[in-house]
Amino acid sequence: MVLKICLEHMHELLYSQNDDLTHREMTDLLLIPFVNLDGHKYIADSFEFSENNNTEVKQEYLKHYGIELSSFLHASEKRKNMNKTYCQEGRDGLNSGVDLNRNYGYHWGHYESDDEDKCSEVYKGPYPFSESETDNIRKLVEREKNFIVLIINFHSYGTRK
């Protein structure tokens, strides 16, 4: 849905019949479709995995992630990145990593993100911007801060039924 909204907005800017080119000429739109790319891949692979009837392919997925079948089938519950530095216990790949939403510097360590348990679903990481994903977003915003007018951040959640 987010991509659809952005593409429609870009199409309107580029191909509108409006003779006023001000917005078109002065607007840069930067779209970052995923910040947690490895977490997204893990979840997407689990859906492909569950639909695939090829045993050899399934074994390769399990070998790649070093996890048990039962854990991979619960991958839709994954909300953290795949940084295995944090949490080596629990349902294999599901509990490892940092919740990137809570790894940004603003109000870091407040509210539910005070949880110091590295296996917690909302583990914030050892310090603000400790993860490359959030650190790179911080660097981008700092570099472009004089030009940024609006930032919209979308979060989504879904489960397999």
CA distance 114 to 28: 37
The structural domains of the chain, with segments of one domain joined by +, span 35-144
Task: Determine how many CB atoms are found less than 10 A away from the CB of residue 16.
Answer: 12
pLDDT digits (tens, 9 = 90+) for 118-161: 888 888 999 999 999 999 999 999 999 988 877 877 776 555 54
| Percent of residues, the chain, with pLDDT higher than 70 | 63
Residues in the chain with pLDDT values less than 70: 16-27, 46-55, 57-58, 61-62, 65-77, 89-94, 112-115, 156-161
Evaluated on CA atoms 88, 92, 96, 102, the torsion sign reads negative
What predicted TM-score, i.e. pTM, was given to this entire model? 0.72
Q: Is 134 exposed, middle or buried (0-12, 13-18, 19+ CB in 10 A)?
A: buried
